[in-house]
Chains A and B, each alone.
Chain A
């Protein structure tokens, strides 16, 4: 994810075209999505288990499915945008 990236020929590119830059950020967002999802779905572990504070099953269901729907929507938007222009074969350095 780090810039500058090595290209096959020539020195590392430090500044990208606006379009390319936007696409790279979209890719970053696509990479982050599962991380956010994993975090959101591990949040229920923090909830209290017993007592009046403990959320009921209904609320738990609504939370988990809510996260699911939001993730799927973001994923749909991201994947749609990522496919709009076929990437000019993203060239990366080997350590990626």
Chain B
């Protein structure tokens, strides 16, 4: 039998080995050989601090008492790891990009860097963790006692008490040395992580060794072991359904929310990619940890006396069979489980306490000068060291006061339900942008209060609640009974507390969020957290550049240490392209600096410290409004520019069009001029020729003279008519014509026009005009002279160009829906299709034969009709040439 002193020596040797491992790892890291320190395997193993002494010893005890229920504690975390793509990946990314230092920091940072929330989470975590630490100390003590009693020392109790004390001291020293080496909590604690990884291997080896010893050494093989299991009282499958599901859930949730788990899972994560390996390797580790639990329990129940404590089967079973080596290994496994948990929990909690409670208080006490004049670095380090020692000693005191015993055994679950109160804020915070600080505070407070009232306080003893209170509720209020809220009795206390605390917590979180309005910083942070995979930029928070860079450097030196601070500033200056070591206090630099500082002192504190130097101007609503205004102005300006450019281009287009038109007009004018000069030259040249004949040729007969003179006369008349027409057209085209509006009857106008159009008609070919006088009795109000001019023109055209043997012109008057249509249709050949669109142009003549006019008649008609508000168009398909004159109805009806 190994002596108690021997065990102490082994234990000290083991601790020395851990120190050596941690020290070596730190040295390696400092030399830059940290590649193998950051392997995925080390990360996976470091997660094993989930398996504490509670699970190492307690799992077998739990299995012996209540069957397979123990396994749920491993199933939950396994599911969380399998679901890494959902949650852990996001959590780790957020943790790394926002330089999160703890659960409290995560929650605080997400909800607008609120220190209140950080303090709440910190207090909750400390309350929940203290009994848990006490539990670890107890387990180490008890395992010592096993050896002490077995070795014949009868002062077990005293030894135990002292053991717990010395273990606590030892752990505190180890944690202070390796846990506060570098101030930046966001940097990896290589030594600690390495030591934990080694402890994980020891734990697993120990449990596997015991398991193999039991299965193949005691039971004699797998099938025999299964027989033993079936034969024992464990043989029946008996599981409380609610507890089964509830325990899987709570263990998975606690896996995320426990400060120590968050520390190794997120804060110490060297590389996001390690999660990939851990996602399956850690569940495998947990499986290996739990695979021999039932066999050990069953064989223990069969072999050991019935009064043996099943919690210690792992230790007592090999000891009773004389397998001392296995027993010592098992002892070391339990010792490892306890110590690694305490170390990491102390680091995580001390970070929270110093960053969120000590630092803000110290900052406030020291006032505005503090960040510049005080040695912040020392303050933070001291605060963290004192916190570590206090937390470990708090655990010891809890152990000492509660006196150990069975009261502690249930503490694991109680602690879990406590820390899980953070879950709604955490999950809601990273997946729901609508989550607000108010909601988070409400949920946390309500959840914690219910947890304390229904689970924590009733568990620690009768002193807090009297029997009567438990049975009848406080002040006789039955619905407030701590273990039967709202009158729902009979639930398992664990399920009762879990359901009510989490349900009301989530409800308050949701309700508070929905009803409140977040501050700008909250909204910025919310967007950053929820959409972490879209933008990996930091939070925009510093808008003004009044900070004195030197002051910032002095402050940063005090927190980060001089070397690191100067390196950071130089790097930033280089990035900005500024000469020297001092970068401009631009917002992005301030942001980087704040994030660096946040790694040491937490987001809220870093924000406050930079804020003090930058003149207290953190992001305010005014700043945001200013930014928004600025961008609105920019948008307006650019919109104006856009409008201007659109205007410019439209003007240019108009100019181009005008230019084109001018060019076309110029061409038209040239054509018109050449046409008109041609038209004028013909009669002029004949006048000149005949007048020269009259002047120069003496012997002309009187008859000849008269003939030539009449030709000259005719040509001048033609010339005059041409000039009249041109004048008329140009007057009308320029719109300077004045209309002589009066009343008159359409039939009178037509009578006059037919009469005038027939002037000079030769007798042999007379134009027959067919009219229907009954339709023509319409009173017009228009320029009657101009209108009859149009009619005359059309009629004389018909007379001139109609080639039928018996030319006939039909005049039809018809009222169309909004106008009066007067059609003139002759029985000639009509106008060829391709000439129809030119007949209304100036000087357009279809044929040279019988060319009596200059081709201006229809052009004038069109102008006249436009002036009168009507139209004249060619009417195709009438068997001859057809023209339609449309008069607006108002011209026709105005006089009625």
Interface residues of A (CB under 8 A from B): 8, 27, 30-31, 33-35, 37-38, 41-42, 44-45, 47, 49-50, 54-61, 64-65, 68-69, 71-73, 75-76, 79-80, 82-83, 89-92, 94
Whether B244 lies near A44 (C-beta < 8 A) is yes
Whether A79 lies near B280 (C-beta < 8 A) is yes
Which of B81, B83, B235, B248 has the most chain A CB atoms inside 10 A of its CB?
Answer: B83
The residue of chain B having its C-beta at the shortest distance from the C-beta of A91 within the complex is B534
Say if the beta carbon of B75 comes within 8 Å of chain A. yes
Say if the beta carbon of B236 comes within 8 Å of chain A. yes
Which of A35, A38, A55 has the most chain B CB atoms inside 10 A of its CB?
Answer: A38
Give complex CA distance A72, B236 in Å: 27
Whether B82 lies near A37 (C-beta < 8 A) is yes
Q: Specify which chain B residues have a CB less than 8 angstroms from the CB of A50 in the assembled complex.
A: 236
Say if the beta carbon of B230 comes within 8 Å of chain A. yes
Which of B71, B86, B238, B534 has the most chain A CB atoms inside 10 A of its CB?
Answer: B534
Give complex CA distance A77, B433 in Å: 33
* B contact patch SS: helix
Contact digits for B82-114, partner A, Cβ 8 Å, 1 yes 0 no = 111110000000000000000000000000000
B80 interface neighbour in A34, A42, A69, Cβ under 8 Å: A34
Contact digits for B509-552, partner A, Cβ 8 Å, 1 yes 0 no = 00000000000000000000011011000000000000000000
The residue of chain A having its C-beta at the shortest distance from the C-beta of B536 within the complex is A89
Give complex CA distance A33, B236 in Å: 30
Give complex CA distance A91, B79 in Å: 26
A-B pairs, top 8 by smallest CB distance, nearest first, are A34-B83, A75-B280, A30-B85, A76-B280, A79-B276, A58-B226, A34-B82, A68-B287
B65 to chain A, nearest CB (A): 14
Give complex CA distance A58, B68 in Å: 11
Say if the beta carbon of B846 comes within 8 Å of chain A. no
The residue of chain A having its C-beta at the shortest distance from the C-beta of B277 within the complex is A79
Say if the beta carbon of B602 comes within 8 Å of chain A. no
Say if the beta carbon of B279 comes within 8 Å of chain A. yes
Whether B237 lies near A56 (C-beta < 8 A) is yes
Say if the beta carbon of B8 comes within 8 Å of chain A. no
Whether A44 lies near B237 (C-beta < 8 A) is yes
Whether B283 lies near A71 (C-beta < 8 A) is yes
Q: Specify which chain A residues have a CB less than 8 angstroms from the CB of B81 in the assembled complex.
A: 75
Q: A44-B239, A64-B68 are in contact. Are A31 and B534 (CB under 8 A)?
A: no
Say if the beta carbon of B284 comes within 8 Å of chain A. yes
Q: A57-B68, A71-B283 are in contact. Are A45 and B86 (CB under 8 A)?
A: no
Whether B239 lies near A38 (C-beta < 8 A) is no
Q: Specify which chain A residues have a CB less than 8 angstroms from the CB of B78 in the assembled complex.
A: 37, 68, 71
B530 interface neighbour in A27, A60, A94, Cβ under 8 Å: A94
A90 interface neighbour in B71, B241, B533, Cβ under 8 Å: B533
Q: Specify which chain B residues have a CB less than 8 angstroms from the CB of A65 in the assembled complex.
A: 287, 291
Say if the beta carbon of B204 comes within 8 Å of chain A. no
**8 CB-based A-B contacts, threshold 8 Å:** A30-B85, A41-B75, A44-B239, A45-B244, A47-B237, A49-B236, A56-B230, A60-B237
Whether B533 lies near A89 (C-beta < 8 A) is yes
The residue of chain A having its C-beta at the shortest distance from the C-beta of B245 within the complex is A42
The residue of chain A having its C-beta at the shortest distance from the C-beta of B431 within the complex is A96
Q: Specify which chain A residues have a CB less than 8 angstroms from the CB of B276 in the assembled complex.
A: 79-80, 82-83
Q: Specify which chain B residues have a CB less than 8 angstroms from the CB of A60 in the assembled complex.
A: 68, 237
Q: A41-B248, A64-B68 are in contact. Are A56 and B236 (CB under 8 A)?
A: yes
B283 interface neighbour in A54, A61, A68, Cβ under 8 Å: A68
A36 to chain B, nearest CB (A): 9
B293 to chain A, nearest CB (A): 10
Q: Specify which chain B residues have a CB less than 8 angstroms from the CB of A83 in the assembled complex.
A: 273, 276
Q: Specify which chain B residues have a CB less than 8 angstroms from the CB of A79 in the assembled complex.
A: 84, 276-277, 279-280
B531 interface neighbour in A30, A49, A64, A94, Cβ under 8 Å: A94
Q: Specify which chain B residues have a CB less than 8 angstroms from the CB of A59 in the assembled complex.
A: 237
A46 to chain B, nearest CB (A): 9
Q: Specify which chain B residues have a CB less than 8 angstroms from the CB of A80 in the assembled complex.
A: 276
Give complex CA distance A55, B235 in Å: 9
Contact digits for B278-298, partner A, Cβ 8 Å, 1 yes 0 no = 011101100100010010000
Say if the beta carbon of B348 comes within 8 Å of chain A. no
Give complex CA distance A49, B433 in Å: 45
The residue of chain B having its C-beta at the shortest distance from the C-beta of A67 within the complex is B75
Contact digits for B427-457, partner A, Cβ 8 Å, 1 yes 0 no = 0000001000000000000000000000000
Q: A54-B236, A94-B531 are in contact. Are A31 and B229 (CB under 8 A)?
A: no
Q: Specify which chain A residues have a CB less than 8 angstroms from the CB of B80 in the assembled complex.
A: 34
The residue of chain A having its C-beta at the shortest distance from the C-beta of B287 within the complex is A68
B245 to chain A, nearest CB (A): 6
Give complex CA distance A55, B67 in Å: 13
Whether B229 lies near A57 (C-beta < 8 A) is yes
Q: A65-B291, A69-B287, A71-B283 are in contact. Are A56 and B235 (CB under 8 A)?
A: yes
The residue of chain B having its C-beta at the shortest distance from the C-beta of A41 within the complex is B75
Whether A64 lies near B71 (C-beta < 8 A) is yes
Give complex CA distance A90, B533 in Å: 7
Say if the beta carbon of B234 comes within 8 Å of chain A. yes
B94 to chain A, nearest CB (A): 15
Q: Specify which chain A residues have a CB less than 8 angstroms from the CB of B534 in the assembled complex.
A: 8, 91-92, 94
The residue of chain A having its C-beta at the shortest distance from the C-beta of B89 within the complex is A30
A34-B83, A37-B82 known, 7 other contacts, Cβ within 8 Å: A44-B239, A47-B237, A54-B237, A57-B229, A61-B68, A69-B287, A83-B273
Q: Specify which chain B residues have a CB less than 8 angstroms from the CB of A71 in the assembled complex.
A: 78, 82, 283
Give complex CA distance A49, B68 in Å: 13
Contact digits for B218-235, partner A, Cβ 8 Å, 1 yes 0 no = 000000001001100011
Q: A45-B241, A72-B283 are in contact. Are A61 and B294 (CB under 8 A)?
A: yes
Q: Specify which chain B residues have a CB less than 8 angstroms from the CB of A41 in the assembled complex.
A: 75, 79, 248
Which of A31, A49, A57, A90 has the most chain B CB atoms inside 10 A of its CB?
Answer: A57
Give complex CA distance A13, B482 in Å: 55
B86 interface neighbour in A8, A31, A56, A92, Cβ under 8 Å: A31
A73 to chain B, nearest CB (A): 8
Which of A27, A75, A83, A89 has the most chain B CB atoms inside 10 A of its CB?
Answer: A75
A45 to chain B, nearest CB (A): 5
Give complex CA distance A41, B826 in Å: 103
Whether B248 lies near A49 (C-beta < 8 A) is no
